[in-house]
A and B are shown apart, each in its own frame.
Chain A
Amino acid sequence: MTLSSEAYRALEDVVGPENISEEPAILDGYCFIWANEVHFGDKFSARPPAVVLPGNTKEVQGIVKVCNRFNIKYRAHASGWEVPAISAKEPFLPVDLRRMNRILEIDRKNKFAVVEPYVSVQFLLTETIKQGLRPASVGCGPSASIIASSTSHFGCGTSNVSTDYGGRTPLGIEWVLPDGNILRVGSLGTDSGWFSGDGPGPSLRGIMRGLSGPNGGLGIITRTAVKLTPWYGPASIKARGKPNLYDYDVPENLRVYQLIFQSREHMTDSLMSIVEEGIAHGLQRCGVAVSVMLVTESNDEFWDTVKDSPPEMAEMYKFAASFMVDAASPGELKYREQLVEKLLDKYEVMSFPMDDKMMGALFYNLVTGQGTQRIFRVSGSFLSAVGAQEAWDTMGHISRRCAEEIWAKYEAAGKIGLAGESPWGTALGDWGSHVESVCVYDQLDPESVQATRDVIAEVDELLPKWSLGMGSFEGCLSPAEAAQKKAAPYCLDFMSYEKKVKKLFDPNLVSESTWYVTPDK
Chain B
Amino acid sequence: MALKDFEKDMMRDSRCSYCKVIPHVMMTDTRFIDVCPSVARFNFHGFSAGGRMVAGLSLLRNRIEYTDGFLDMIFQCQMDGACDVSCKIDRDLEPLQVMQELRIKCIEDGQLIAGHMPVLEGLRKEDNMLQRKKADRGKWADGLDIKELAGGKAEVLFHAGCRYSFDEELWPTVKTGINILKEAGVDAAIMGKDEACCGGRAYEMGYEAELIKYADHNIQAWKTAGVKTIVTPCSCCYQTFKVLYDKIGKKPEIEIYHFTEYLDKLIKEGTLKLKKKVPIKVTYHDPCHLGRLSEPWIHWSGKEIKVAGQMIVHDPAKKYRRGAEGVYDIPRDILKAIPGLNLVEMYRIREYAWCCGSGGGVKEAYPEFALWTAAERLKEAKDVGADALVSACGWCKRNFTDAVKETGKKIEVYDIVDLVQEAL
Contact mask for chain A residues 284-325; partner B; CB cutoff 8 A; 1 contact, 0 none: 000000000000011111111001000000000000000000
Q: How far is the CB of A146 from chain B (nearest CB, A)?
A: 12
Are A378 and B44 touching (Cβ within 8 A)?
Answer: no
Beyond A143-B17, A381-B12, A381-B14, is A25–B308 a contact (Cβ under 8 Å)? no
The complex places the Cα of A445 from the Cα of B11 at a distance, in Å, of 12
Whether B43 lies near A248 (C-beta < 8 A) is no
Task: Please name all residues of chain A whose beta carbon is closer than 8 Å to the beta carbon of B17 when the two chains form the complex.
Answer: 79-81, 143
Please judge, given known A-B contacts A21-B69, A244-B89, whether A43 and B308 are in contact too, CB under 8 Å.
no
Known: A300-B313, A303-B307, A307-B307. A81 touches B51 (CB 8 A): no
Decide: A96 and B44 in contact? CB cutoff 8 A. Answer: yes
B273 within 8 A of A: no
Contact between chains at B18 and A143 (CB < 8 Å): yes
Residues in chain B near residue A444, CB distance under 8 A: 8, 11
Cβ–Cβ < 8 Å partners of A142 in chain B: 24
Bound state CA distance, A485 and B393, in angstroms? 62
Distance to closest chain A CB from B365 (angstroms): 17
User: Which chain B residue has the least Cβ–Cβ distance from A20?
Assistant: B44
21 contacts between A and B (CB under 8 A): A23-B46, A28-B55, A29-B44, A29-B46, A79-B17, A81-B17, A96-B43, A126-B27, A126-B30, A141-B16, A143-B21, A297-B322, A298-B319, A300-B313, A301-B317, A370-B24, A373-B14, A376-B90, A378-B311, A379-B310, A381-B12
Q: Known contacts A28-B55, A368-B24: does B45 contact A300 (CB below 8 Å)?
A: no
In the complex, chain A residues whose CB is within 8 Å of the CB of B314: 299-300
Query: What's the minimum C-beta distance from B167 to chain A, rounded to whole angstroms?
Result: 32
Chain B residues in 8 Å Cβ range of A246: 23, 25
Contact of B24 among A96, A103, A122, A297 (CB under 8 A): A122
Cα-based distance from A96 to B17 in the complex (angstroms): 13
Q: Which residue of B26, B319, B325 has the most chain A CB atoms within 10 A of its CB atom?
A: B26
Is A25 within 8 A of B55, CB to CB?
yes
Cα distance, A411 to B67, chains bound together (Å): 46
Given known A21-B69, A33-B15, A443-B11, contact A26–B320 (CB-CB < 8 A) = no
Chain B contact residues: helix, strand, loop or mixed: loop
| Contact A299 B12, beta carbon cutoff 8 Å | no
Do B28 and A236 touch (CB < 8 A)?
Answer: yes
Q: How far is the CA of A441 from the CA of B15 in the complex (A)?
A: 17
- Cα A23 to Cα B58 in complex, Å, equals 13
The answer to whether A373 touches B90, judged by C-beta atoms less than 8 angstroms apart, is yes
B14 and A81 within 8 A (CB): yes
What residues of B have a CB within 8 angstroms of the CB of A127 in the complex?
30
Interface residue ranges, B against A (CB under 8 Å):
8, 11-18, 21, 23-30, 33, 43-46, 50-51, 54-55, 57-59, 63-65, 67, 69-70, 73, 85, 88-92, 306-314, 317-320, 322-325, 351
**CB contact between A243 and one of B11, B16, B89 (< 8 Å): that residue:** B89
The answer to whether B92 touches A25, judged by C-beta atoms less than 8 angstroms apart, is: no
Chain A residues positioned under 8 Å from B89 (CB to CB)? 243-244, 373
Residue of A nearest to B69 (CB): A23
Contact: B324 with A373, CB < 8 Å? Answer: no
Q: Once the chains bind, are A239 and B58 in contact (CB under 8 Å)?
A: no
- A376-B12 in contact (CB<8A): yes
From residue A1, how far is it (CB to closest CB) to chain B in Å? 17
CA distance A239 to B58 in the complex (A): 37
Chain A residues near B351: list those with CB within 8 A: 242-243
Asked, given contacts A26-B46, A143-B21, A298-B318, whether A417 binds B311 with beta carbons under 8 Å apart, the answer is yes
Q: Roughly how many angstroms separate A90 CA and B57 CA in the complex, as a whole number? A: 21
Interface on A for B, CB 8 Å cutoff?
A: 19, 21, 23-26, 28-30, 32-34, 43-44, 47, 51, 53, 79-81, 86, 96, 98-99, 103, 122-123, 126-127, 141-143, 236-237, 239, 242-244, 246, 248, 297-304, 307, 364, 368, 370, 373-374, 376-381, 411, 414-417, 440-444, 448
Determine how close the nearest CB of chain A comes to the CB of B220; give it in whole angstroms.
37
User: Is there contact, CB below 8 Å, between A43 and B57?
Assistant: yes
Is the Cβ of B63 less than 8 Å from the Cβ of A81?
no
CB of B43 within 8 A of CB of A53, answer: yes
Closest A residue to B18 by beta carbon equals A143
CA of A304 to CA of B308, assembled, Å:
12
Q: A25-B55, A26-B44, A415-B310 are in contact. List 12 more A-B contacts (CB 8 A).
A: A25-B70, A28-B54, A29-B55, A239-B23, A243-B85, A298-B318, A300-B313, A302-B311, A376-B12, A376-B14, A381-B12, A417-B308
Question: How close is A93's CB to chain B, nearest CB, in angstroms?
Answer: 14
Q: Which residue of B lies closest to A86 (CB)?
A: B15
Q: Find the B residue at minimum CB distance from A301.
A: B317
Most chain B Cβ neighbours within 10 Å, of A25, A30, A80, A86: A25
Contacting residue for A364 out of B25, B311, B323, CB 8 A: B25
Kindly state the separation between the CA atoms of A416 and B311 in the bound complex, as whole angstroms. 10
With A81-B15, A243-B89, A244-B88 as contacts: A380 and B8 at CB distance below 8 Å: yes
Measured CB to CB, the nearest residue on chain A to B50 is: A29
Residue from the set B18, B67, B70, B308 with the largest chain A CB neighbour count within 10 Å: B308
Q: Which residues of B contact A303 (CB under 8 A)?
A: 307-308, 311, 313
Tell me which residues across on chain A come within 8 A of B25, comparing CB atoms: 237, 239, 246, 248, 364, 368, 370
Give the nearest-CB partner of A82 in chain B.
B15
Q: Are A373 and B55 in contact (CB under 8 A)?
A: no
Chain B residues closer than 8 Å to A32, beta-carbon distance? 13, 15, 54, 57
Asked whether A80 lies within 8 Å of B92 as measured between CB atoms, the reply is: no
Q: Is the CB of A298 within 8 A of B320?
A: yes
Q: Quick one: given A21-B69, A80-B45, A96-B44, are A378 and B312 in contact (CB under 8 Å)?
A: yes
Determine how close the nearest CB of chain B comes to the CB of A126; give it in whole angstroms: 5
Q: Are B51 and A29 in contact (CB under 8 A)?
A: yes
Q: Please tell me if the beta carbons of B310 and A123 are within 8 angstroms of each other in the complex.
A: no
Chain B nearest CB: distance from A82 CB in Å?
9
State in angstroms the CA–CA spacing of A44 and B53 once bound together: 13
Nearest-CB residue, chain A, relative to B320: A298
A31 to B16, CA, bound (A): 14
- Tell me if B15 and A123 are in contact (CB < 8 A): no
Question: Which residue from chain B places its CB closest to the CB of A31 in the assembled complex?
Answer: B54
Q: Which listed residue (A300, A411, A440) contacts B318, Cβ 8 A?
A: A300
- Most chain B beta-carbon contacts within 10 A, residue among A237, A373, A417: A373
Asked if residues B11 and A299 are in contact (CB atoms below 8 Å), the reply is no
Question: Known interface pairs A34-B15, A239-B26, A381-B12. Does A96 touch B45 (Cβ–Cβ under 8 Å)?
Answer: yes
Is B64's CB under 8 angstroms from A242's CB? no
Instruction: Give the residue of A29, A243, A377, A416 whose beta carbon is less than 8 angstroms from that of B23.
Output: A243
A23 touches B24 (CB 8 A): no
Contact of B91 among A44, A103, A377, A442 (CB under 8 A): A377
Complex Cα spacing A103 to B27, Å: 15
Chain B contacts of A377 at CB under 8 A?
90-92
- How close is B96's CB to chain A, nearest CB, in angstroms? 14
The reply to whether A19 and B43 contact each other, CB–CB distance below 8 Å, is yes
Contact between chains at A123 and B27 (CB < 8 Å): yes
In the complex, the answer to whether A25 meets B27 with C-beta atoms within 8 Å is no
B309–A417 CB distance below 8 A? yes
In the complex, A359→B415 CA distance in Å? 41
Contact A44 B63 (CB under 8 A): yes
Which residue of A30, A43, A81, A379 contacts B311 across the interface (Cβ within 8 Å)? A379
What is the chain A residue whose CB lies nearest that of B44?
A26
Choose one: A28, A123, A300, A441; the contact of B64 (CB below 8 Å): A28
Residue among A23, A370, A379, A381 making CB contact with B67, cutoff 8 Å: A23
The smallest C-beta distance from B32 to any residue of chain A, in angstroms, reads 10
Select A126's contact among B11, B29, B312, beta carbons within 8 Å: B29
State A24–B14 Cα separation when bound (angstroms). 20
B73 CB contacts on chain A under 8 angstroms = 23, 25-26
Question: Across the interface, do A448 and B310 meet the contact criterion of CB distance under 8 Å?
Answer: yes
Q: Check A380–B90 contact: CB distance below 8 A.
A: no
**A residues near B67, Cβ cutoff 8 Å:** 23-25
State in angstroms the CA–CA spacing of A381 and B10 once bound together.
12
User: Cβ of B92 and Cβ of A299 under 8 Å apart?
Assistant: yes
Judge whether A242 and B57 touch: CB under 8 Å.
no
* CA distance in complex: A123, B55 (Å): 28
Give Cα A448–Cα B212 distance, bound, in whole angstroms.
42
**What residues on B are CB-neighbors of A370 within 8 Å?**
24-25, 90
Looking at the assembled complex, report how far the CB atom of A60 sits from the nearest CB atom of chain B, in whole angstroms.
15
